[in-house]
Chain A
Amino acid sequence: MDLSGKSYKAFLERQEALKKQYSRKQAEKQHSKGKLTAIERISLLFDKNTFEEIDAFVTPANQPVEFGKVERTYGDGVIVGHGKINGRLVFAYAQDFTVMGGSLGFIHARKIAKIQEMALKMGSPIIGMMDSGGARIQEGVASLAGYASIFHNCISSSGIIPQIAVIMGPCAGGAVYSPALMDFTFMVNHTSYMFVTGPNVVKEVLNEDVTFDQLGGAEVHAQKSGVAQMIYDDEENTILALKKFLAYLPSNNVENSPVVADEKSTPDVNEKLRDIVPDDPNKPYDVKDVIHLVVDKNSFFETAELFAPSIVTGFARLKGKTIGVVANQPKVLAGVLDIDSSTKGARFIRFCDAFNIPILTFEDVPGFLPGVDQEHRGIIKNGAKLLFAYSEATVPRITIILRKAYGGAFIVMNSKSLGGDFSFAWPTAEIAVMGPDGAVAILYRRELAESKNPAEMKNELVKKYRDKIANPFIADELGYIDEVIDPAVTRKKIISAFAALSNKWVKVPARKHGNIPL
């Protein structure tokens, strides 16, 4: 081919035009807000020189416009393509706020749909980086249909390939359903927000004054709504964390997760584990101290840290292999289960089950949170979600009972009767229908009412109850747990238990899907 020829010249001119579109000036507009451009985000995310863009030159110029004007631009405000992240094929799309405000028009949506379909065909994870002003009003209903096709694809891929949303700017109105439908959502603090209805409409309709951040900022979604599971203070760290996070996940629902070797050679036996649970049963401790000593060193990646903190969820590794961890957190609300913690746990467990990730549960739960608020808002059906999720999961499931395991909560937290594969208990475990105070109050009600010194009698009975019933030995002797273990060897026990379960297969019932309470 003649490099000075007409066709090659045209080719080069087009490349120049594209470069001009993504000019320094445009980039600076984003930078001045503390944000990166879509290209910069993509290049941070993918391994060097591995990203291949698709449909870089599509333009909305030929789309029917119902109202207003649409400029001629390349790409229609979104960059889509594939590349390698830590050496593995991943598909991604990044909305470009500098091009028509990243608004979603027909072509924009079609590009995203295309990449979603590709990811599904290749069995590779897909990442969506949202930074968009919303639907392109000029294109009218066509842009709505665009959203719908994206949502539909999310749902078609749900549970087949991991889908992760990263909110890096506005994501409002209908657009928020895409991240909601995906598996995990990352958000950047202060420069991103998500809400169905914005502050302006809230002010108009309800006369409430609220800022973007207060209504739908990262902290709101991380702490209150639970819509976002991971938030960071800046974009670079969000993307770096996302890369770390991806390394825990398999590419699809048939393959195993990648392995990251335990380089720090975590010791299999650790005496520090004996010192974590205090002797006083009313004194809290941080269950993450236990988790950190049991899993591969530095391998615990917590999800939804700020939401429903009375339960801890996250991924970790055991001898390099990914596991999902669910743990009651005694230092928050005594580790009770409530509506939020039940849904948080349930969603996490179902993700692990969908993607063949074994689940490790640490249990220290005194029961469900009592109160009119919880009952009226449906603790019954929300608690049932957690139960359903555990029971339905066919991945290997192991429970370690650290301390309290009372009543319904004991059943819910992956008990053997729910199909839990192995249940181990520490000597500090208290497995009972009810806690000592409640049990004594009921069983000895008459005696206490007639006693001259009820307080002293109660104390004595509670002590007796604790010694006799609230220990793991009865459950052990009856076969409801497998073994009472020395805390120091917990890691060793779990590793060998999971190894025994590595080929576990349970046939799922032949049905379209169950009817989990929603």
Chain B
Amino acid sequence: MSDKLQIKKLHALSSENRKFSFTIPLKNKIRIGKRDYIVQLRADDKHGPYVLWKNRKYPVEIVRSRQNRYEILFNDISYTFTVETPFSLQRMKVLNAQRGKTEQESVRAPMPGKIIDVLVREGSPVLRGEPVVILEAMKMQNEIQSPVNGIIKSVSAKANTNVMKDDILVEIKVD
């Protein structure tokens, strides 16, 4: 399939928009400067899955994956990447140019209740679906989730305060 659209390269985009490019077919080798170093994905009973690189074992865990978005725990640090084809990368550029100024999204209380916990602060990146506030209502704690991917612009919700339906909890600058 890859040669259908002539996919010769894939780009892994980090959540901070750093791009890592790899040629396809993907080799178990990474080039740094003039040398190629071997990299392998393995697993054993003691450590679980790990990446072998320059004779060192790096523990890895795939925390979640959705179609082309991967959240990876690599040596105790979380990274989120989306894997893009050259075409989807180009598409991103086209769409970003068109949309111009990035929009803002307000997260509102879906029902009246009490804020138990605020899980984000100004500047935190969020993914669509990630919880931002815990709201107690109907005798249960509910996760209020971010509807978009973006960065928290402002936090109005305060722990231990009551909110009404549609009160603004958090504002997000959309990616």
Interface residues of A (CB under 8 A from B): 31-36, 40, 43-44, 47-48, 190-191, 219, 223, 232-237, 240-241, 282-284, 298, 305-306, 309, 330-336, 366, 435, 437
Complex Cα distance A332/B131, Å?
10
Contact check, B5 vs A190: say whether CB atoms are below 8 A apart: no
Complex Cα distance A284/B92, Å?
36
Complex Cα distance A330/B134, Å?
13
Known: A44-B1, A232-B67, A236-B87. 20 other contacts (CB 8 A): A43-B4, A43-B5, A47-B1, A190-B95, A191-B95, A219-B147, A234-B84, A234-B87, A236-B5, A236-B85, A237-B67, A282-B136, A283-B141, A284-B141, A284-B143, A333-B111, A334-B139, A334-B140, A334-B142, A437-B139
Asked if B68 is at the interface (CB within 8 A of a chain A CB), the reply is yes
Residue of A nearest to B62 (CB): A298
> Which A residues are CB-close (under 8 A) to B65?
298
| Least CB distance, A49 to chain B, in whole angstroms | 10
Asked if B90 is at the interface (CB within 8 A of a chain A CB), the reply is yes
> Which B residues are CB-close (under 8 A) to A330?
140
Given A33-B94, A34-B95, A40-B5, are A333 and B87 also a contact pair (CB < 8 Å)?
A: no
**A234 CB contact (under 8 Å) in B91, B136, B139:** B91
Given A34-B91, A232-B67, A236-B88, are A44 and B5 also a contact pair (CB < 8 Å)?
A: yes
A-B contact pairs, 29 of them (CB 8 A): A31-B87, A33-B94, A34-B91, A34-B95, A40-B5, A44-B1, A44-B4, A47-B1, A48-B1, A48-B4, A190-B95, A191-B91, A191-B95, A232-B67, A234-B84, A234-B87, A235-B88, A236-B85, A237-B67, A282-B136, A282-B139, A284-B140, A309-B145, A330-B140, A332-B143, A332-B145, A333-B110, A333-B111, A336-B138
8 nearest CB pairs, A to B = A34-B91, A334-B140, A234-B88, A34-B94, A331-B143, A43-B4, A237-B68, A334-B138
**Which of B73-112 touch A at CB < 8 Å?**
82, 84-85, 87-88, 90-92, 94-95, 99, 110-111
Complex Cα distance A241/B69, Å?
12
Complex Cα distance A366/B138, Å?
9
Number of A-B contacts (CB under 8 A): 85
Number of interface residues of B (CB under 8 A): 32
Complex Cα distance A156/B85, Å?
39
Contact check, B138 vs A32: say whether CB atoms are below 8 A apart: no
Interface residues of B (CB under 8 A from A): 1, 4-5, 65, 67-68, 82, 84-85, 87-88, 90-92, 94-95, 99, 110-111, 128-129, 131, 136-143, 145, 147
Given A240-B67, A333-B110, are A31 and B140 also a contact pair (CB < 8 Å)?
A: no
| Least CB distance, A90 to chain B, in whole angstroms | 15
> Which A residues are CB-close (under 8 A) to B99?
190
> Which B residues are CB-close (under 8 A) to A333?
110-111, 138, 142
Complex Cα distance A492/B92, Å?
45
Contact check, A223 vs B147: say whether CB atoms are below 8 A apart: yes
| Least CB distance, B16 to chain A, in whole angstroms | 17
Given A282-B139, A334-B139, are A237 and B1 also a contact pair (CB < 8 Å)?
A: no
Complex Cα distance A331/B82, Å?
26
| Least CB distance, A109 to chain B, in whole angstroms | 29
| Least CB distance, B2 to chain A, in whole angstroms | 10
| Least CB distance, B84 to chain A, in whole angstroms | 8
Contact check, A366 vs B140: say whether CB atoms are below 8 A apart: yes
Complex Cα distance A36/B7, Å?
14
> Which A residues are CB-close (under 8 A) to B128?
306
| Least CB distance, B143 to chain A, in whole angstroms | 5
> Which B residues are CB-close (under 8 A) to A36?
87
